[in-house]
Amino acid sequence: MSLNIVPTDVLQYIGQVFGSLWPLLAIGLGIMATPLVIGAAKTVFSRRRA
Spatial distance between the Cα atoms of 49 and 45, rounded to a whole number of angstroms = 7
Spatial distance between the Cα atoms of 7 and 4, rounded to a whole number of angstroms = 10
Tell me: the pLDDT tens digits for 9-48? 999 999 999 999 999 999 999 999 999 999 999 998 898 7
**Half-sphere exposure at residue 26, Cβ-oriented, CA atoms within 13 angstroms:** 6
Q: What is the DSSP string of 13-27?
A: HHHHHHHHHHHHHHH
pTM, whole model, 2 decimals? Answer: 0.52
